[in-house]
Amino acid sequence: MVVHYDILNQDESILGQQLQNALNMTPLVPKQKPDFPRTFEMCARLVYG
């Protein structure tokens, strides 16, 4: 998955898919602290929401 600024101007379905990709990817993120998934989800929801 590659994140580009351009996607922030695209339609909601693409943003929704990007958000889902980000959330699906979270378990693969290495060396994360226990609170990271919850915090990262809020972060991603603002970016793609």
DSSP secondary structure string for all residues of 21-47 = HHHHHGGG-TT--TTHHHHHHHHHHHH
Measured from the CB atom, the residue of 1 and 12 that comes closer to other proteins is 1
Measured from the CB atom, the residue of 11 and 38 that comes closer to other proteins is 38
Which DSSP state fits 10? S
Measured from the CB atom, the residue of 14 and 42 that comes closer to other proteins is 42
List interacting residues with other proteins (CB under 8 A).
1-3, 5, 8, 22, 25-26, 28-33, 35-36, 39-40, 42-44, 46-47
d(Cα 9, Cα 40) in Å, to the nearest integer? 21
